[in-house]
A and B are shown apart, each in its own frame.
Chain A
Amino acid sequence: MLVITCIKQVPDTTQVKTDPVTGTLIREGVPFIVNPFDTPALEESLRLKDKYGFRVAVISMGPPNTEVSLKKALALGADEAVLLSDRAFGGADTLATSKVLAEAIGRLSQKEEVAVVICGRQSIDGDTAQVGPGIATRLGYSQLTLVDQIQNLDLSAKKVRVRRKLEGRHEIVEAPLPALITVVREINQPRYPTVPMRLMAEDAEVILWDNKVMDLAKESIGLKGSATQVRKIFSPERAKGEILGDGLNAPEDAAKLLIDNLVEKDILSLEQT
């Protein structure tokens, strides 16, 4: 049985700046990290491995340097890492990305039965949360998003029961396998790699699948296969606030000044409800 985790290598957003003129991300010199939503996804796969003895495969679509992130996954305990990298895959939106990932999962499932695919809920650079559901739809897997607990995995009945974290409530859902699960960060505390595993991963092989291997129609992948295109990236302008008082008021006076102004602007109401 195989558990697959899809990861994305993203620029470290704390270190990203946008070019004020062109509005595009300045990627030069910015370090890359594994999308922070994907590390709990990998951790959950590794926990299934620990519990059920599944094999864990990690796949990622991206430029060749994505290998670094895949090796990190190997150091954490993944058994196999596949890099989907080809110029033809570049410029993909969520539609074209999910196409390549779904095809890769399909190829893996031909060799070994897939129990679940686990993805992070979204990436921190694109923030769409669409790739996971896209993969599920393409493969016809059960789609379980925003999961914060995998409660039961019944292999004989081929069912999985999970808890979804929704706003203000939880939802417990049962679905047939194979399933695609996207997880929220609260689901677990990811592990830290041991040194022997790191050393092993340093010269472990990352399998490369380019489009010669994948053999996908050019119209369905990359920029051409994308239904959306980014026109412009910009930081929204914020209306400047207003400084009240002279900054030297006593705390009580400052609080009163603030409340009076909030009431005046109808932001706050003093009437009892």
Chain B
Amino acid sequence: MSYNIAIFIAVFVAAMALFSWSCFQRFRLVTLGKAENRFNDVGKRTWNMLFFAFGQRRVVSRRFGLNHFMLFWCFLILMIANTEFLLNGLFPDYISLSRLPDGAYYTLAFIFDVVSALALLAVCIAIIRRVAFPPPNIEARSRDAFIILTLIAILMIAFFGLHASEIAQGIEEAAQYMPISNFAASAFMSGASADSLSWLANFFWWLHAVVLLLFLNYLPYSKHMHILTAIPNCFFKSLEKVNTQPREEFTKGSTFGVGQVDQFGWKGLFDSYSCTECGRCSDNCPTTFTGKPLNPRLIIHDIKVNLLKNGPLLAKKKEAVLPLIGNSEEGTVSEEAIWECTTCGACMEVCPVFIEHVPRIVDMRRNLVEMKAKFPQELLNFFENIEARSNPWGIAPEKRIAWAAETSVKPFEADKTEYLFFVGCAGAFDARNRRVTLAVSKILDAAGISWGILGKDEMCCGDSLRRLGNEFVFDRMAKENIKMFEDRGIKKIITLCPHCYSTLKNDYRQYGVELEVTHHTELIGKLIEHGGLELNGSGDLGNMVLHDSCYLGRYNMIYEPQRKAIAAVTGQLPTEMEHHHAGSFCCGAGGGRMWMEESIGKRIHLARTEEALKQDPKTICTCCPYCMTMFEDGLKDKNVEDRVQVLDLAEVVAGALK
């Protein structure tokens, strides 16, 4: 080899200095974020990292994910080759693979040769895919993507060029173990003069060196920053339910929520560096799908742009110049986008690197509600009703008991009653959902369960408040509810609404209370499994489709009890819609959207109803009062309410009781 070591050392030092400086500049900005502990339970975190980052669990679940998997692993293996390449360039007399024992050297040479070919293949597939049949999200054809793919391709070609010319020169000991390089040598370089081979080797060596260092320096300035951050991001993944975000301390002089980029937790900022703009989140977002201004990918992108713009100023204690929330220019999140989110979690469910979109949206909602009292007008009534009468409609609390007029219901009594049946606002006040409440009570009685209610003393769980960012009032209500549970000796709770369920079970845990919370779906599932219910097995409910509620499914992973229960009652499993299980499509009512107008784009409940109707059902089965309302509305909108019915799982089962 005839390269000039002195020149290379200079290039190498300059490139590494620039790379370190770039990384320092970027990662320094992450430290502007608020403290949060993402280093607890290292064992579990390490497992997450191995499974999701190195195992690429979520990446491979999609078409072409396998291609990324291949490229990722090629990349890891070639990192050894490239490190050796650089070190060998710096210390040619001391560091070289050829100094290894022959067996090890030949093996590595073989692996690197084959893996380089696989990497080149993966890059070609990626380019062809982007050009010929791009995924629906337009970002697949970004300049960024083509630059990086081209750099990798050149790197591989340079690798083969270098080794082929060395083989042709007869100076590569491992030639016979490098099938592709060997082939290239015989195909392209046989008959070349020694001089030109030497020139070629020199050329490819420098090409390889320069492109490698260029690639490294390009990373921090592109979406390919994820090459550096995705693996740690999987390590830092939330160990809590993702929608259970940290509480706020209400002390004077603090700011609440996030109105400026440095008010996010540091992980929120790190997330923005980890986004590869693959677009899976927006592909699965019900609001993006129905033409609304919210696109979860862009929220993360805007946070990144905002951080890069304001971060250096904020680090110097200067004023931010680009607002985080405002008119939607790049780097600013629009208020419409913030309020459109149903917190359904579909975005987070598919993100390969566990970016937390929903908590960031709620962070910003908190700021709008708590610092600026700025929110869609229709929420004012909702907030005031909840505060004054602890239910969304502002109905008198004593009416909570009205559903039980036709049945006998006992109040919960400490030491006498085992389960509190937490009816929830919808189950108590909404005419349609009251029938579900009756069905649940019938099942509880049929199973001989000891249960009671709080009646007029029951209060709202605060789910919508929390998702809407009204953490101050949620905090107060959670404390009041927990105090009541403690005062009355309540430890086991059965809920009818997945929102109550998730809030009491997951969110209230942040207040140091461990409640045994069961959703009626789980209970029914258990009862049927253990023969606790006598069913007559009939029930002519026709073709039944099942809708997975977000707060039952994605957030609490309850998918099977409802399916087994339906199979037990109707004799067959429910028909699945296009979107089901963890990939379910929101009804449109979560995240407080139940209480808001939906004026932009297609209405989400209509999109979901149409999806259900494609299966030509006679019955749509839900397990959530919000979903119930949305489907009932959807069926009316489609004028099919006389031939399709919506039933809660409890009604399906109660109707089949002997």
Contacts and interface: CB of A to CB of B under 8 A. Distances in A.
A194 B398 contact: no
Interface stretch (A60-68, A95-103, A195-203, A250-258): A195-203
A193 B370 CA distance: 8
Contact of A195 (B250, B375, B380, B397): B250
A33 B388 CA distance: 8
Interface residues of A, number: 16
A128 interface: no
A22 interface: no
B388 A12 contact: yes
B373 interface: yes
Contacts, number: 42
Interface string A189-216: 1111111101110000000000000000
Given A14-B389, A14-B395, A15-B398, A192 B252 contact: no
A14 B391 CA distance: 13
B396 A14 contact: yes
A10 to B, nearest CB: 12
Contact of A192 (B250, B383, B394): B383
A53 interface: no
Contacts of A14: 389, 394-396
Most buried by B among A190, A191, A194: A194
Interface in B387-406: 388-389, 394-398
Given A14-B396, A189-B380, A195 B472 contact: yes
User: Chain B CB within 10 Å — which of A190, A191, A199 has the most?
Assistant: A199
B389 A195 contact: no
Interface of B: 250-252, 256, 369-373, 375, 377, 380, 383-384, 388-389, 394-398, 472
Contact of A199 (B252, B380, B394, B396): B252
A191 B373 contact: yes
A23 interface: no
A194 B397 CA distance: 26
B372 A31 contact: no
Contacts of A191: 373
Contacts of A193: 373
A83 B394 CA distance: 28
Contacts of B472: 195, 198
A21 to B, nearest CB: 19
Contacts of A31: 388-389
Q: List 10 A-B pairs, minimum CB-CB distance, nearest first.
A: A195-B370, A192-B373, A14-B396, A195-B472, A15-B396, A194-B373, A199-B252, A195-B256, A194-B371, A33-B388
A193 B472 CA distance: 11
27 contacts: A12-B388, A12-B396, A14-B389, A14-B394, A14-B395, A14-B396, A15-B398, A31-B388, A31-B389, A33-B388, A190-B380, A191-B373, A192-B375, A192-B383, A194-B370, A194-B372, A194-B373, A195-B370, A195-B371, A195-B472, A196-B252, A196-B256, A196-B371, A199-B250, A199-B251, A199-B252, A200-B252
Contacts of A12: 388-389, 396
B540 to A, nearest CB: 26
Most central of B371, B373, B398 by chain A CB within 10 Å: B373
Nearest to B395: A14
B29 to A, nearest CB: 27
A195 B250 CA distance: 8
Given A189-B377, A194-B373, A195-B472, A15 B397 contact: yes
Nearest to B471: A195
A190 B381 CA distance: 10
